[in-house]
Structure 1
Amino acid sequence: MSDRVINFGAGPSALPESVLQEATQGLLNFNGTGIGIAEISHRSKEFTAFLAEVEGLIRTQLDVPQTHSILFTQGGGSAQFSAIVLNLLARHRLLHPDLPNDERVMDYVITGSWSKKAADEARRLGGGKVNVAVDARPYSKDGKSFDNIPAHDAYSLSPDPALIFYCENETVDGVQFASDASSPSSFPFHLLANSTLPPLVGDYSSSFMSRPIPRLADHAVIYAGAQKNIGPAGLTILIVRKDCLVDVDAAAKLGAAPVPFTMAYKTLADNVSVYNTPSVLPIYISGLVLRRSQQLGGVKYYEELNKKKADKVYAAIKEGEAKGVFRAKVKEGSGSQMNVVFDVVGDGAEAKFISGAEALGMKAIKGHRSVGGIRISLYNAVTEEQTDVLVAYMKDFLAQL
């Protein structure tokens, strides 16, 4: 294993080495069956028992109430941009069958590239109109960047929307909602006070299992791709409130758009996530990661660890800003603990920073192609010791200038 590097990639991301080693055994012989996990039937008693264990590990560590189902599917967050629209518009149609489409509203909180793409998909699919409840760009330093979480008084939510969408952590832009309810950059849950079953949808793809989810029970749907904190690409995890497991065919008879079987939440729930073949191998590796997480102390353990890691990197950026070498991309208080983004100032300085890091075995730190700069992803599997190597390099880089 000596040729492995430190992977700061935004996803697919680093996984614990102990899990990867354990998974190699399962590839040959899963749970003593004599069949590898990539070969075994998804309907075998051994795999369905493991799937139930994975569900239990998520439910226990995130304290998911019995009012919500935990489902496993494919397609990542991008597929859920479509699925949430189709399922929650179907629910809204059943609740309000006579409401015309131009009065059926979907609220979107746009704080970065992914929430913008989600809103674009909702407009493309139709069936209701998109209300931008808040757009972070007018509140940015330059009036056009995603560099902040807007204050609570900037939001304008609709009275009875079909859904309210937000992306908890924007992987590209490096902004994240604060978990502390007293922070001005937290999600304004108090604006949902008049609704007993708010249609709140949270995209947690890049922060899932990194810390507790505030007001989880108030969410209609939470979803996450596995490939950031808990497993390989190919698995999407859903937490769906049971009132959102609606009969989409009944809604279609009332005028809602038909929903493909594999995207209908009720289909997934009724068939215990095995209506069709799920992502068997990613589920297996995710289960191993979740077992390890539980042994370490779950999301509370990672919340403390990830804060320590992020605080160290942000402190190094501040040191670099004082010297005119680094420039933070995100306003203070809105920065992500998962994806720390900054610029290296000066002609050729960014390329020099990246090549120097790679020479020391630190890979995948270049920012997203749409925004450039540097992006350091500090997912659960990135250790504090690995983070310290990066911080030491950042300080050495400053000292050489």
Structure 2
Amino acid sequence: MKNTYFTPGPAELYPSFARHLQTAMDEQIGSISHRSQRFRDIYKFTDEQLRTLLTIPATHGIFFTGSASEVWERVVFNCVEHESFHLVNGSFSQKFHDYAQSLHKYAHVFEKPFGEGFDATDIEVPEYAELVCLTHNETSSGVQMRPADMHKLKRKYPKKLFVVDMVSSAPYPNLDFSLIDSAFFSVQKAFGMPAGLGVWIANQACLAKAERLQKYESITTGAHHTLPTLWKHYQTFETPATPNVLYIYLLGKIAEDLNRIGIDTVRKQTEEKARMLYKFLDDSSRYKPFVEAERHRSQTVVVATTKNPADTIASAKQAGMIIGSGYGSFKDSQVRIANFPAVSIDQVQLLINELKK
């Protein structure tokens, strides 16, 4: 029996993934040179599809890395001289903060407990923080920060650079890239691909900061994939080093499929499935939404508290439905259910029916 994966990453593969993979194999995409015109055409196509899908303006470049975790390091190296500021309410926003500290930056932090979210009115950005690090969707706790609050913060602090981790939510969040300087994601979650590719979006303000930092002998912007080097090669749709050509191709094809559906429809479907899941949790005597404030509940990773998560996971698995365990210390009290575009409304309903048993 074929399983349906409701895990928060790696997740269910997008329905067209196998077809696109077969085409790539037939065309030997995995063997072409990253200095060839064929690769430049692939990069350009994927760039165009992502720009359409996420409404990315020409002021921003789109770059490829080995993972989204790599971007935590890249963006701190290239955009922070001394101080960064981090909103932390889960394990992954905490890791972003940890990366900045490990790179010897003064990493300010405003922290809330697991399950609680941030509103713009809560936040005062430290005066000398150069980079404001936001996590749209905290994968570990199922909390989302509303883009409207991110935009309000940027308007309040227009001279600071703003970066958004949207690893477990892109392409769902409707970010205004005239206000958001940088964002990043990986492909093994909402884009329905296996792990192995990160996508970093950054504007010319980030580039200018990196170019300035490179002039200081006492500061390093890194030795690999510096933003100026990425941007230089991006002008001709190339990369500094050999990239994951196969996955760049596949990402472009899946982004094209999502564009055919339309991002408004993708977002509406995501919200409809999330409503179904949260209504079930609200009505259930065995499950409870972990995030109490509805405005902070994730639309893409639904976290539920239950007494016997191992039994729930095992029962769902017998029915061919794989759901995620709670993260870290919450493993014995929670389950996590991914709500990505690869999973249909009918499949979500089947999961709900199984959980009701």
Q: Return the structure number with greater relative CO, CA threshold 8 A, min gap 6.
A: 2
Note the residue ranges of structure 1 that are not aligned, 5 or more in a row: 31-35, 94-103, 138-145
User: Counterpart of 1:49?
Assistant: 41
The one-letter code sitting in structure 2 at the alignment partner of 1:303 is: R
- Rounded to whole Å, the distance in 2 between the matches of 1:149 and 1:247 is 30
Residues 1-400 of structure 1 mapped to structure 2, 5 A cutoff: 3-27=1-25, 29-30=26-27, 36-74=28-66, 76-89=67-80, 93=81, 104-126=82-104, 128-132=105-109, 134-137=110-113, 146-179=114-147, 181=148, 186-187=149-150, 189-213=151-175, 215-230=176-191, 231-246=193-208, 248=210, 251-272=213-234, 273-297=238-262, 299-320=263-284, 323=285, 325-333=286-294, 334-345=296-307, 349-372=308-331, 373-395=334-356, 397=357
Q: TM-score, normalised by structure 1?
A: 0.82
* Alpha-carbon distance, 1:40 to partner: 1.6
- Rounded to whole Å, the distance in 2 between the matches of 1:115 and 1:211 is 17
Q: Secondary structure at the match of 1:300?
A: helix
Q: 1:66 to 1:248 in 2, by over 3 A?
A: closer
* Alpha-carbon distance, 1:211 to partner: 3.9
Q: Secondary structure at the match of 1:262?
A: coil
Q: 1:248 to 1:296 in 2, by over 3 A?
A: closer
1:136, 1:148 within 8 Å by CA — same for their partners in 2?
Answer: yes
Q: Secondary structure at the match of 2:16?
A: helix
Q: 1:43 to 1:108 in 2, by over 3 A?
A: same
* Alpha-carbon distance, 1:196 to partner: 4.0
User: Counterpart of 1:98?
Assistant: none
Q: Secondary structure at the match of 2:118?
A: coil
Q: 1:294 to 1:192 in 2, by over 3 A?
A: closer
Q: Secondary structure at the match of 2:256?
A: helix
Q: Give CA deviations for 1:263-320 in whole Å, capped at 9, x if unaligned.
A: 31111111124111111121121111111111111x2111100001111011111111
2:85, 2:107 within 8 Å by CA — same for their partners in 1?
Answer: yes
1:38, 1:280 within 8 Å by CA — same for their partners in 2?
Answer: yes
Q: Secondary structure at the match of 1:365?
A: strand
Which is further off, 215-224 or 191-200?
A: 191-200
* Alpha-carbon distance, 1:112 to partner: 1.4
Aligned length: 350
Q: 1:158 to 1:23 in 2, by over 3 A?
A: same
- Rounded to whole Å, the distance in 1 between the matches of 2:158 and 2:218 is 24
1:57, 1:290 within 8 Å by CA — same for their partners in 2?
Answer: yes
* Alpha-carbon distance, 1:7 to partner: 0.7
Q: Which of 1 and 2 has greater Rg?
A: 1
* Alpha-carbon distance, 1:161 to partner: 2.0
- Rounded to whole Å, the distance in 1 between the matches of 2:292 and 2:304 is 11
- Rounded to whole Å, the distance in 2 between the matches of 1:153 and 1:246 is 30
2:77, 2:222 within 8 Å by CA — same for their partners in 1?
Answer: no
Q: TM-score, normalised by structure 2?
A: 0.92
Q: 1:382 to 1:256 in 2, by over 3 A?
A: farther
